Amino acid sequence: MTMSSSTLLCVVSAAVLLPGGVWAQERSIGSQEDDFLIGASVVSGNAHVGTPQGSTTDLKPLWAFQLGPLRVSRSRASALMSVGREALETGLSTEFKATENVSLSASLRLDNGRSFDSDPLLRGLPDIGTTVRARLSARRALGPRWSWSMNTDHDLLGRKGGLRLGTGVNYAYPYSDDTQWDFSLGTGLGNARYMQTHYGISLKGAQATGRDTYQLSGGLENLRTGINFSTALGDRWVAFGGLEMSRILGRAARSPLVGRLATHSVTIGIAYRSR
């Protein structure tokens, strides 16, 4: 992506996210109330990049705040706040419906990057810096339960994060009035800068680690699938969980940084919402 197109993406995202933006006005702001959600989850899983090891288990907070047409959220808190309501993106986001079956959304997300200091095999490689990514998404309903989505996000701070694309299908199964299961299948792609930053070894990195250089162009990154559930425990409490799996593909799978081709994560948690 050129500098001019990156700047355009930033400008478009800002216009969408400002309360007075054209897209926000399309949403009938007065129809939404202020709202919040707080909770925590236990996540057990492993990663593609780094020394192969067993699963790690972490306790992760999650939260979301709805302020008129805007929502600020962490992790899957946005979806949990939306159980039985309209869903929005993670991060600072807003959404509007282009047609009856198509919805568009924009969000700003914090990408925490990655450090190699704790991995003895990869120590010395340059860290991937924290950045802000602008994300544009489209979702089309394919029926009462099926939907198709596509999204793109770009590094706004020039931290070599590059551009990513994602697409997939989702099947929502309402088990009961209070419980819903979601099944998803999707794939991710990245441009040359994104793939090189996350899976490549530069000349500087090779000299620091004694490894050979590894260069990548843009292409497929992974194939993902998941099964998740959410259930209302009364008016305010929501329980959730799920299993997600990923298989890395293409030249990324042959990267010397990749220690595990297939990964998984298991999540279970609980959250409280204000209404």
**Residue 132, domain CATH:** 2.40.230
In-domain check, residue 60: yes
Q: Which two structure tokens, joined as six digits, stand for 95?
A: 């959404």
> What are the angstrom distances between the C-alpha of 37 and each of 17, 180, 270?
20, 18, 10
- Structural domain count of the chain: 1
130 lies in some domain: yes
Q: Is residue 105 part of a domain?
A: yes
The pLDDT value recorded for residue 94 is: 65
Say if 28 falls within a structural domain: no
- In terms of residue numbers, what domain contains 126? 3-23+33-273
Give dist(CA 83, CA 87) in Å, integer.
Answer: 8
Could you tell me if residue 57 is inside a domain? yes
Residue 89 in domain: yes
Q: Is residue 152 part of a domain?
A: yes
In a domain, 247, yes or no: yes
Q: Which mean pLDDT values do the consecutive 10-residue runs of the chain (275 residues) have?
A: 45 39 34 76 93 86 81 76 56 67 89 86 87 94 95 94 97 91 97 96 88 94 97 89 97 94 96 85
CA-closest candidate to residue 107, choices 126, 132, 125: 132
The DSSP H or E segment spanning 78 is helix 77-81
